[in-house]
Structure 1
């Protein structure tokens, strides 16, 4: 259950979440994903949505000091961590898929107005941005919430874990009797890393995490968590510290 004091999070009405229904899961799982030029054309719209969330939180006193008080340079200065022996072992046991060039992470012009060191998730476009200095950002392709599980708001990274165990919440177990506690590893749906999202000092139960189903990345298929390829979540987790602000926007 999501803690009641998370007033910064709002589940979208069904008619808004229903906009995702037009995105069919094709048999080939090969989406026509927005190109860089198309993404640039949507930059002003995304900037407006991010600015709206930040302004609303500031007026409501919801902006966490934990998420905004540290120097942003700490977030982006370090290079991605090298793979551990554990990473190499578990990744070798997972499905091997041919990388889709449309899904490759890349440095792009920052389409948001968020300050450097902020994670911005454009849920509708299924893109995650880590904002950098000099108005740049690293763009990652992600999976987001399916119909009825979309949300928006501002949270922060409360903690991080490598190859975390997975404990499905009671609500998920009621929907899927097969969901059960799973130790960290190649069969765990959280994949190689998990960023645990908090608000007002409480765990929201939402995560940014890897996956044991790489074909799902780029799809609206999750129960609200932000799902990435294992390579991308390893990269992202190595770049951001606890306290990093995460803004999720939706049309």
Structure 2
């Protein structure tokens, strides 16, 4: 294991990163770039303790999305795609939730490049009242299923000071992003839902996904159901046609 870590640390790109940024180690289940590798090696001793999660915070040592009501997968926030969401009506100012998938694993890697639209279609069709959708999105769904990393920068010289939150691809190009004024991140800020000049804009991020009509919430499930049903009907019809042709031939 020591040799493997030494090999990983000697990667030229990672070496440059260490020279220019402080690296704080954290456990992940993608050891050495493999998906779910080592997912039982760390913190496993906690799970054998009956009182773990009872006497202390339930999410101790875990990371999870805290805003969206529609989660694709809830396992160490292990979703393999990037997304920026916001919720404006919890504390009187916008709460941002930024998810990056990491550089070694992504949800689109399991598909050949010509078939990656299959992954993007559910993202686009799944309702999300909290997803930040703007001109900075590479894809219409404003999610990014390829390898990526998150970046946060603060411009203290701007007036007001501005926070830039981004999801970037492996080349460092912004694929998702949003500018947030520091003055907005306070109760009754300039973008507060109680501010009459921005009330309509903020209201978009005040509706919970579970409050959407059933036809909207389950439209992805409906799409999958009817697609599968259509495929089965098509296959069955072809089989029946072939059987009739064979009976007629013999």
Q: Determine if the TM-score, normalized by the shorter chain, exceeds 0.5.
A: no
Q: TM-score, normalised by structure 1?
A: 0.24
Larger Rg: 2
Which structure is higher in helix share? Answer: 2
Q: TM-score, normalised by structure 2?
A: 0.24
Which structure is higher in strand share? Answer: 1
